[in-house]
Structure 1
Amino acid sequence: MIEGTPSRTALRVAMRRAAHQVFDRPLVLEDPVALRILPQEQRDEVKRTPDGLRKPFSAAIRAFMVVRSRYAEDLLGAAVARGLSQYVLLGAGLDTFAYRNPFSGLRVFEVDFPATQVWKRSLLAEAGVPVPGNACYAPVDFEEHSLAEGLAEAGLDFSQPAFFAWLGVVPYLTERGFSETLRFIAERPAGSGVVFDYSQPREVLPPVEQMMLDSMSARVAQAGEPFQLFFRKEELNSRLTEAGFGKIEDLGGPDLSARYLAGREDGLVLRGSGGRIMSAWRA
C-alpha cells in the first residue's frame, strides 16, 4: 500500500461485493450497504459489470470474495450464539458488516491503515450510512505499529474472547507481519478464533492458474500493493497447530462451491486451486 493513501484493492473488492448485489441471484452475501458506500464513479462502473457467463474470470474472483465474507459471517453467527461479543476485522477496507450488524451485543472493531479509515468514514458520511455505537475504529499500520496497542485504544477487552476476520490481507503481508499477528491472535482467551484466506505458491499451481496468478500479481503490484506471501496448505496447518489452534478448517474451491454455490446457472463459480480459506479456534 502507498503510504498516506487509501487502499486501491479495498475499493476493487468493495466493487465486486456491490456487483454481487446487483447481478447475482440467489445472493450468497446479502449486503444492502455495499453499493451505497461506493463513490459515484465506482457505482456507475459496477452497473456496467458483464455477467459471469461473459466474463468467467471476473465472476470467479467475485465469487471468491463474497464466499469468503459469507463463510466468515457464518462462523461469527455461530460464535455469537456461544456467547462471543467481540468481532475484529483486520484490514477492514470497505467491509460493511459493522453497518448491518444484526447482533446488538456484538462490538465490531475495524482495524486498518489510518488513511483508509479516514477515506471510508467520509464515504459513509456521504452515503448517509450511520455509524452504530458498537462500531469501533482502530487505525493501525500492520507493519509499523502494534496491533495490541491499537485495539486496546479502541476498547477491545483482552480478557474476553474475540473472533478475527483477516480477509484479503495475508497475501500482501511480509512473513514478519503475518507471524506477529498470528501470535497475537493465538494469545487471546479460549473461545477466540480467526478466519483468513491465503494463496498457494505459484509452483504448486497448474500452468493455466500460474498465468492467472501472474496477471493478477501484475495488477496489484501496479496499484502499489504487491503480493508477498504464499503458503502451502500443509505448512500452514502445521503452523496453526503449533501456535495452539484447534478445530482447523481449510477449504478450497470444491468445498466452498459445494457449500455456497451448488446448482447455480448464472456463471458465479469458483475456478482454480490457488485461493483457499482457513479458520481455527483457541481451545
Structure 2
Amino acid sequence: MEKKSLTALVSAFARAHHAEQNRVTIFNDSLARQLLTDEEYEGISGNMAQGIAFFQPDFAGSREETLRRVADHQLSPTPLGRAAFAEKALETAVLLGAGQYLIFAAGYDTFAYRQPEWGKNLQIFEIDHPATAADKQRRLSMLHADKPSNLHFIPGDLRERDWQTELLAAPDFHPEQISFCSLLGISYYLPKDAFKQLVAAITSILPTGSTLVFDYPDEWTFTPQAGERAQKQLMMAASAGEPMQASYSYTEMEQLLQEVNLLIYQHLTPDEITAQLFKAYNDSQPDHPMTAFDNVNYCLAVKR
C-alpha cells in the first residue's frame, strides 16, 4: 500500500508542478501543491531530476531545467492528459443528466474541493483503499477547508467486492441515478479478467446512460515496437514491485466492453490526445512542448 500511495503522490506532484510552472495548462489542479508537504515536494523534485540519467542520458542543464525535462517528457503527460479528458467528459455528462460522480482509486484527486458551478449538484463518491483514503483525508484537513457536503469517502479494495457493499450502503448513493465513473490508472495493474470483473461489477449497479472513463495501454506496450517512454515506464513499474499486467488492442477492448453491456462513445490515441488536449499548452510553450504518452489510449464508454 505504501508503494501505491507513493505512486499517487508522484501523480499529485506532476499536477502541482505543471500548475505552478505554466499560465496556460493542460490541466490546472490548483490544489495539488497544498496536499504535499514542502519536504515531499522537494524530495520528489530531487529524485525526478536525478532520473534524467535514466530517462534522457544525453540531456544537460540546470536542476530546474532537468526537472522540467523529466516532468514534461516522462512524468506529467499521463496524469495531466487523462485528468483533462475525464473532467471534460464529466462536464458533458452532467449537462446530459448525470447526478453522481464515482472516482475509483481516487488517490489524491482534488475535484471535490475545486468543483465548478456545474458540479455543485453532483454527489461525489471517492472509492479507494482505506489506508490511502485516510492519508488523503489527513492531508485535506491541512487545507483548512470544510469538507464539501456532496463528497463521500467509500473505503474498499477494488480487487474485492467490499467496495460494492460499502457503496450500496451509502445513504446518498442511488443505483437508479445516472452516474459518471472514473477509472484512471487502473487497467495497467490488473490482469485482464480482474479488470473485466471490476468493470462488470460497476456496470451492474448503474442504470443505462451511465458512463465510464479510463486509460489503457495498447497492444504494442509489451513489445519492442513500444515507444521508448513506455518501455522505460514498464521497467520502472517492475523494479518498484508493481509490474504492469495487461495491454489491449482496440478490438479487444471493444469486445470486453460489449460483453459487460458497454459501448465505446469516445476513444483517443496518443496523437489525438496531443492534438486535442495539449494544443493550447503547446502553442503557449514552444520551447517546452509536451506529447501524450506513448502507447496509452483514453476511452469513454456508455452503458447500453
Q: Fold-level match, TM-score > 0.5?
A: yes
Is 1:193 aligned to residue 211 of structure 2?
A: yes
Contact 2:77–2:292 under 8 Å retained in 1: no
Q: How many residues align?
A: 280
Instruction: Map 1:1-283 onto structure 2 (within 5 A).
Output: 1=1, 7-45=5-43, 50-51=64-65, 55=69, 58-102=72-116, 103-155=119-171, 156-187=173-204, 188-202=206-220, 207=225, 209=227, 211-262=228-279, 263-264=282-283, 265-271=286-292, 273-283=294-304
Contact 1:172–1:229 under 8 Å retained in 2: yes
Q: Percent identical across equivalent pairs? A: 28
Contact 2:221–2:230 under 8 Å retained in 1: no
* Two-structure CA RMSD over aligned residues (Å): 2.5
Q: Cα–Cα, structure 1 residues 105 and 203, in superposed 2: closer, same or farther, change >3 Å?
A: closer
For 1:145 and 1:167, locate their aligned partners in 2 and report how far apart those are by CA, in whole Å: 19
Q: Cα–Cα, structure 1 residues 190 and 208, in superposed 2: closer, same or farther, change >3 Å?
A: closer
Could you say which structure has the larger radius of gyration? 2
Task: Give the superposition deviation at 1:115.
Answer: 0.5
Task: Give the superposition deviation at 1:272.
Answer: 5.3
1:74-101 alpha-carbon deviations (Å, 9 max, x no partner): 1111111122110000100001111111
Structure 1: runs of 5 or more not aligned? none
Contact 1:8–1:223 under 8 Å retained in 2: no
Contact 1:19–1:47 under 8 Å retained in 2: no
Task: Give the superposition deviation at 1:125.
Answer: 1.2
Q: Which has the higher helix share?
A: 2
For 1:221 and 1:203, locate their aligned partners in 2 and report how far apart those are by CA, in whole Å: 14
Task: Give the superposition deviation at 1:193.
Answer: 0.4
Match of 2:14, as an amino acid?
R
Contact 1:52–1:58 under 8 Å retained in 2: no
Task: Give the superposition deviation at 1:207.
Answer: 4.3
For 1:239 and 1:129, locate their aligned partners in 2 and report how far apart those are by CA, in whole Å: 41
Other-structure match for 2:52: none
Contact 2:271–2:292 under 8 Å retained in 1: no
